[in-house]
Amino acid sequence: MPPARASRQGRNEPASLELPPGLTIERLLEVTPADSRDLVRSAYDLAEQLHAGHKRVSGEAYIHHPLAVAWFLASLNLDGASIAAGLLHDVLEDTEITREELADRFPSSVVAIVQGVTKITKMSFMTSREAQVENLRLMILAMAQDIRVVIVKLCDRLHNMLTLRHLPAEKRQAVARETLDIYAPLANRLGIQRIRVEMEDLAMRWLHPEAYQTLAKTVAAKRGEREQLVQESIEELRRFLGKQGKHLEITGRPKHFYSIFRKMQDQGLTFDQIYDLNALRIICEDENQCYEVLGFVHSLWPPLPGRFKDYIGMPKKNLYQSLHTTVIGHQGAITEIQIRTRAMHEVAEYGIAAHWMYKEKGSEIQKDERLSWLRQLTEWITEMNEPTGLLETLKQDVFADRVLCFTPRGKVIELPANATPIDFAYAIHTEVGERCTGARINNRMVNLRTRLQNGDVVEIITSSSGHPSRDWLDYVVTGRARQKIKHWLKGRNIDEYAENGRKAIIRLLQERQLHVTQAELDEALLRLLPIYKLQNTNDLLVEIGFGSISPQAAIARMNPDWAGKPKHPQSRSKAERRRTTGPIEVEGLEGVETRLANCCSPIPGDPIVAFVTRGRGVTVHHERCANLVRARREEADAPRLIPARWRMEEDAHHTVTISVEALDRSGLLNALTSILSRHDIFINSCRTRSDHKKGTATLQFEVNVRDAQQVQDVLAAMRGESSVLTVTRKKKGNGNHS
């Protein structure tokens, strides 16, 4: 272990998250605040007693796990209540002790943290994905109450990642993927880089084992050469700054494996082609000195154009501050340099946890303006009824790359990458969003679909007659904007959506030949109200009709037996789907059997022509079908073409395939399925294929539609999605319908 240093709270703290060999309670107490050691000792004694005889999958005594979690919390400089809660974080879930018994022995702050962590993992759900989403929702809500809850959970996950080798391979993969998708980005959003880096490297070890081992060997082989170069760079820079009267702390900053791997993947590089593996960090006395030292560095080593970032003047929302520059350094080596104060460095390493070095009360930290993003996130999560889109939305709102834009008065608005002026308007205030009619970016009028860029000055134009449009949902990216738009739209068309929701439920029941009385259906709908946090069944039907709640999911929760019952075989057969004697009227023929041509699969609304076959009745084609074009040219076939038209049938549904080619990006599938849902279109199946060289993805959706107009409407909406290149309705035979 590197030497420990004394903190301002009267404790020695570990210099890294590395667990010391043979960790004991005595070693933990050395790094615990002096005034909390009795509390932590009591928590350990109870945890050891309650977990006595319990073993982890690795075979070690269970107490080692909470002890490790408590060590991580102490190394993040958290308070005694947090460390005690880390020792007790599993007792309510895994032992017989009750909350009341725990409250009799420990302060309310400790009990609240333990209970918050327990709530995140204690509930059971229908599917693993549903459990993941609900756990994430509970975690965000718990964070809003006390940020220490999620820090304890992050430390819990970190130790689980360190012992992942003892789990079955499939479980290892699932835990590692969840860690990389949720917990590491969450640690990053809270600014706790020490945990993020550890989690990413550990996840990579199990998700990309070959790449991890190859990289480990390559880094090890070049370590001596690189360490020598870094040390020589430090000495040259130290001598130069010393001549300027600046005697500062300069250290090497190793790049962690996952960041190297990501750069190799994203840019298609080999290890030898990554030129900025050498990195230095300079710790200054104050902010002014940071800028002064930056000038000295650039006078010693020439900077690379476009590689300077000022996170002091424009801090990240996760509290991070530093100057970044990339230079042609010692011996011509490309070198990345970070310049920051000691306080900035503490925040960079510990994030929100750094506040416990200076503040005793978590409630003060909870009110910090820099956690405003969390309060906004909590607001729309509590308004959500159906959480299925939560994971993708969180990836956009919390975990995605960010853009920083300005109001005309200079206020900074942080938004996810690809955000639009509408997202910007709702970020300012709901009323601004609802009255938005246009926008200027950098004094130039723009379309509301325009994607914002870093540094844009955005002015929202409003009108008292302005109001949200349904097509806004096709291109907004923030959960807040989407939630507010949906709320406004549902409030204006409530009866229509309620009727559509009831029809959707009844249609699914009829497809499964389930004879459910109105009273039984109403009773089943009532059972769903607490699940979706709604007040009455009409609100529930509105959510289903609007597309916020899937009717299939609703039926599954009403009665799993209903959802498990297959559709009636006759309704699913190809012959039944093609044979439609009712909805088509063929000129001059009454009562004749008609079939829809399999080559072009026309649907109501398409222009059609009937073709009289030999011994098989009449086949109906799309008028632009290639087979029909050939028939018109044939002298023998042309007379057998007969005009036809549709008799529209209410509630009739037809299967078509929609093909989409788009720029591949995170959230693409969710964006397209949301468009289909909003147009009341049910998805039978979806196939996706990515072309990593081109950076594109091809998606094919088999869907049920009412008529051709509904298809045209959804194709138009999909073309409005910024990433989409082409959208076509595919035929089974030759070509496409656009």
DSSP string covering 213-275: HHHHHHHHHHHHHHHHHHHHHHHHHHHHHHHTT---EEEE-PPPHHHHHHHHHHHT--GGG--
Mean pLDDT, residues 105-128 taken together? 74
Burial 276-293 (b: 16+ CB within 10 A, else e): ebbbbbbbbeebebbeeb
Q: E strand or H helix at 434, and its extent?
A: helix 430-434
3-state SS assignment for residue 611? strand
Could you tell me which residue, 641 or 592, shows the higher pLDDT?
A: 641
Q: Quickly list H helices, 301-371.
A: 342-350, 362-366
Active site residues: 93-94
Least confidently predicted of 143-157, 390-404, 506-520, 612-626: 390-404
Q: Classify 441 in phi/psi space as left (phi over 0), alpha (psi -120 to 50) or beta.
A: beta
d(CA 257, CA 218) in angstroms, rounded, equals 11
Confidence band, pLDDT 50/70/90 cuts, at residue 39: very high
Residue corresponding to tokens 């889109």: 389
Asked whether 373 and 414 are in contact (CB, 8 A), the reply is: yes
At 400, the amino acid letter reads A
Sign of CA dihedral 343, 349, 352, 353: negative
Could you tell me which residue, 565 or 385, shows the higher pLDDT?
A: 565
State residue 395's pLDDT score: 55
Take residue 151 and report the two structure tokens written for it.
């820090």
Confidence band, pLDDT 50/70/90 cuts, at residue 86: very high
State residue 133's pLDDT score: 59
d(CA 37, CA 48) in angstroms, rounded, equals 16
DSSP state of 356: G
d(CA 92, CA 97) in angstroms, rounded, equals 6
**How much of the chain, in percent, has pLDDT values that exceed 90?**
18
Please measure the distance between the N-terminal and C-terminal CA atoms of the chain and give it in whole angstroms. Answer: 66
State residue 83's pLDDT score: 94
**φ, ψ at 681 (rounded to 5°):** -110, 130
Domains of the chain: 5-207 (1.10.3210.10), 216-354 (3.30.460.10), 384-490 (3.10.20.30), 493-570 (no CATH), 573-646 (no CATH), 654-737 (3.30.70.260)
What pLDDT digit, counting tens, does each position of 186-210 carry? 888 788 888 988 999 999 989 888 8
pLDDT at 421 over 90: yes
d(CA 170, CA 716) in angstroms, rounded, equals 41
Mean pLDDT of the chain: 78
Could you tell me which residue, 138 or 217, shows the higher pLDDT?
A: 217
pLDDT at 399 over 60: no
DSSP state of 320: -
Least confidently predicted of 211-225, 370-384, 530-544: 370-384
State residue 59's pLDDT score: 85
Could you tell me which residue, 375 or 316, shows the higher pLDDT?
A: 316
d(CA 188, CA 402) in angstroms, rounded, equals 13
Residue 419: which of 444, 395, 445, 450 has the closest Cα?
Answer: 450
**φ, ψ at 579 (rounded to 5°):** -85, 110
Take residue 447 and report the two structure tokens written for it.
């379309």
CA distances from 163 to 16, 27, 173, 194, 376 (A): 18, 21, 13, 18, 35
State residue 576's pLDDT score: 41
pLDDT at 419 over 60: yes
Confidence band, pLDDT 50/70/90 cuts, at residue 71: very high
State residue 368's pLDDT score: 55
What pLDDT digit, counting tens, does each position of 301-352 carry? 999 887 888 988 888 766 788 999 999 888 888 888 999 999 888 888 777 7
Q: E strand or H helix at 683, and its extent?
A: strand 682-691
pTM of the predicted protein model: 0.55
Take residue 429 and report the two structure tokens written for it.
């205030």
pLDDT at 623 over 60: yes
Mean pLDDT, residues 18-39 taken together? 90
Confidence band, pLDDT 50/70/90 cuts, at residue 609: confident
pLDDT at 396 over 60: no
Confidence band, pLDDT 50/70/90 cuts, at residue 384: low
Mean pLDDT, residues 148-168 taken together? 90
d(CA 459, CA 482) in angstroms, rounded, equals 20
Residue 95: which of 48, 142, 148, 152 has the closest Cα?
Answer: 48
Confidence band, pLDDT 50/70/90 cuts, at residue 575: very low
d(CA 581, CA 593) in angstroms, rounded, equals 5
Confidence band, pLDDT 50/70/90 cuts, at residue 130: low
DSSP state of 512: T
What pLDDT digit, counting tens, does each position of 691-703 carry? 777 778 888 888 8
Mean pLDDT, residues 441-447 taken together? 87
Take residue 415 and report the two structure tokens written for it.
């938004």
Sign of CA dihedral 299, 304, 305, 310: negative
d(CA 310, CA 543) in angstroms, rounded, equals 45
How many secondary structure helices (H) and strands (E) does the chain include? 32, 22
Residue 389: which of 726, 162, 137, 700 has the closest Cα?
Answer: 137
Contacts of 263 (CB under 8 A, 6+ apart): 269, 274
Contacts of 405 (CB under 8 A, 6+ apart): 412, 413, 414, 415, 424, 452, 454, 455, 456, 457, 458
What pLDDT digit, counting tens, does each position of 256-301 carry? 778 777 777 766 666 666 655 678 999 999 999 999 999 999 999 9
d(CA 72, CA 163) in angstroms, rounded, equals 15
d(CA 574, CA 589) in angstroms, rounded, equals 24
d(CA 193, CA 316) in angstroms, rounded, equals 13
